[in-house]
C-alpha cells in the first residue's frame, strides 16, 4: 500500500473514533477553497471562446473539433452542476485531509506553461508531493472500480478524458515526474493512489505526441473525422444485426450532431425484461415494436 494512502486511512479511521487535532490554518484554507469552488461554478464569467488547455487537449480529436467549431452540444441535465461542484469540494477536502494527515504538500494549484506545436498552452496541476505531480480525481463507483482500480495501464488504454496527456503535460512543463492520480470514490469515500509505474517510460512520449497531433490538427483546421466507429450489438452473445455507439461516443455531448438524425436512444431491442438497458442505436435492422432507422 502506498505510504500516502496509509497516512490518509490512519487519520480517517482515527477521526471516526475520537477527536483529531487539525490546525485552524488548514480549516481556513479549506473554507476558502470551498468558497472559491462555489464562485467558480456559479458566479464567475465564462469565456465562450474555445481555448487549448492541458486539462482537455488529450480528449478525442473529433470531440475537440466539434467544440472548436462551436457545434451545438447536448444540454447538460440539471444535476450536472452539482456533480462538478462535488468534484471541486472533494478535491478541496482531499488537500485538507492530506495536510491534516501530516503529508507535506510542496506546492498546490500551481499554474504551468508549455509550448506544443508552436502553441503556448497553460494548465494548473493539483499538488506536488515528494517532488512528483499528482492529480486529484473524484470518481463514480464504476470508474473507481473499473478504470482506476485496474492501474495506470488501464487508464492509459482507454483515456477518453485525456488524463495521461494532462499529467504528462504537467510533468513536462514543471520538470517534475508525474506521480499519478489520487482518486476518491465520491459515493463511498474510499481512496486509492494510482501510481505511474517507474518501469514505464514511453507513456509520456506517446502522450506528448497525442497533444502535439491534436493541437496541430486544431490550429490547421484539419477536416473533421470521427475517431471511433459504431459497434455491432449482441444479445445473449448472439449478433442482433443492429449497431450501437461505443462507450466513449455514448458519453460525448456532441454525439447527436456527429451521428445525425439516425441516432436513437432506445431500450435494448431484443430484451423482454421489464426494465431493459438503453443504448444509443446507429442502425436497426431487427427492431422492437417498429423502431427502425434502417434506410430502405
pLDDT in tens, 82-119: 999 999 999 999 999 999 999 999 999 999 999 999 99
Give the residue among 82, 86, 272, 117 at the shortest CA–CA distance from 209.
Answer: 117
Ranges 182-191, 254-263, 286-295: which has the least confidence: 286-295
What are the grid coordinates assigned to 166, written together? 494532462
Give the residue among 73, 112, 121, 72 at the shortest CA–CA distance from 219.
Answer: 121
153 and 237 belong to one structural domain:
no
Residue numbers of the domain that contains 179: 3-46+53-219
DSSP 8-state symbol, 223: P
DSSP 8-state symbol, 47: P
174 and 32 belong to one structural domain:
yes
Question: Is 105 buried (19+), middle (13-18) or exposed (0-12) by CB count in 10 A?
Answer: middle
Give every CB contact of residue 219 below 8 A, 6+ residues apart in sequence: 117, 118, 119
Please report the pLDDT score of residue 289 as a whole number. Answer: 61
102 and 246 belong to one structural domain:
no
* Angle made by CA atoms 114, 120, 124, in degrees to the nearest 5: 55
159 and 245 belong to one structural domain:
no
Tally of domains within the chain? 2
- Does residue 113 form part of some domain? yes
Q: Residue 76: which CATH number?
A: 3.90.320
138 and 251 belong to one structural domain:
no
The secondary structure element, H or E, covering residue 126 is strand 119-129
Angle at which helices 61-68 and 203-219 pack, to 10 degrees? 30
20 and 162 belong to one structural domain:
yes
206 and 275 belong to one structural domain:
no
Distance CA 128, CA 122 (A): 17
61 and 192 belong to one structural domain:
yes
Confidence of residue 47 (pLDDT cuts 50, 70, 90): confident
205 and 267 belong to one structural domain:
no
- Does residue 185 form part of some domain? yes
Contact of 34 with 92, CB cutoff 8 Å: yes
Does the pLDDT at position 293 exceed 90?
A: no
DSSP 8-state symbol, 247: H
Percent of the chain with pLDDT over 70: 97
- Does residue 267 form part of some domain? yes
- Does residue 294 form part of some domain? no
Please report the pLDDT score of residue 292 as a whole number. Answer: 46
Residue 210 DSSP SS3:
helix
**pLDDT (tens digit per residue) in 3-36:** 999 999 999 999 999 999 999 999 999 999 999 9
DSSP 8-state symbol, 145: I
90 and 130 belong to one structural domain:
yes
DSSP 8-state symbol, 160: T
247 and 189 belong to one structural domain:
no
Residue finishing a domain among 196, 219, 242 = 219
Provide the edge-to-edge strand list for the sheet that holds 191-195: 105-116, 119-129, 132-139, 178-185, 191-195
- Does residue 289 form part of some domain? no
158 and 38 belong to one structural domain:
yes
- Does residue 174 form part of some domain? yes
**pLDDT (tens digit per residue) in 158-208:** 899 999 999 999 999 999 999 999 999 999 999 999 999 987 778 999 999
What are the grid coordinates assigned to 199, written together? 518501469
Give the residue among 110, 227, 122 at the shortest CA–CA distance from 176.
Answer: 110
Distance CA 134, CA 195 (A): 9
Amino acid at each position: 500500500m502506498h505510504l500516502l494512502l496509509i497516512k490518509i486511512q490512519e487519520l480517517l479511521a482515527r477521526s471516526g473514533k475520537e477527536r483529531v487535532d487539525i490546525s485552524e490554518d488548514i480549516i481556513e484554507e479549506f473554507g476558502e477553497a470551498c468558497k472559491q469552488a462555489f464562485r467558480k461554478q456559479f458566479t464567475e464569467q465564462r469565456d465562450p471562446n474555445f481555448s487549448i488547455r492541458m486539462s482537455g487537449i488529450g480528449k478525442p480529436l473529433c470531440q475537440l473539433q466539434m467544440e472548436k467549431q462551436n457545434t451545438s452540444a447536448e444540454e447538460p441535465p440539471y444535476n450536472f452542476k452539482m456533480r462538478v461542484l462535488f468534484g471541486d469540494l472533494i478535491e478541496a477536502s482531499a488537500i485538507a485531509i492530506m495536510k491534516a494527515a501530516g503529508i507535506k504538500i510542496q506546492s498546490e494549484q500551481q499554474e504551468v506553461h508549455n509550448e506544443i506545436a508552436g502553441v503556448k498552452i497553460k494548465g494548473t496541476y493539483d499538488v506536488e508531493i515528494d517532488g512528483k505531480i499528482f492529480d486529484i480525481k473524484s470518481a463514480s463507483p464504476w470508474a473507481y472500480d473499473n478504470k482506476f482500480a485496474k492501474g495506470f495501464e488501464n487508464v492509459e488504454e482507454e483515456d477518453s478524458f485525456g488524463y495521461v496527456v494532462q499529467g504528462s503535460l504537467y510533468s513536462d512543463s514543471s520538470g517534475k515526474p508525474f506521480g499519478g492520480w489520487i482518486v476518491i470514490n465520491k459515493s463511498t469515500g474510499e481512496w486509492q493512489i494510482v501510481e505511474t509505474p517507474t518501469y514505464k517510460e514511453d507513456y509520456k512520449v506517446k502522450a506528448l505526441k497525442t497533444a502535439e497531433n491534436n493541437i496541430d490538427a486544431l490550429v490547421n483546421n484539419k477536416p473533421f473525422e470521427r475517431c471511433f466507429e459504431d459497434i455491432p450489438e449482441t444479445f445473449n452473445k448472439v449478433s442482433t444485426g443492429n449497431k450501437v455507439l461505443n462507450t466513449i461516443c455514448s458519453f460525448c455531448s456532441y454525439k447527436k450532431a456527429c451521428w445525425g438524425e439516425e441516432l436513437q436512444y432506445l431500450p435494448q431491442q431484443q430484451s423482454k425484461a421489464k426494465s431493459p438497458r438503453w443504448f444509443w442505436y446507429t442502425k436497426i435492422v431487427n427492431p422492437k415494436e417498429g423502431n427502425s432507422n434502417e434506410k430502405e
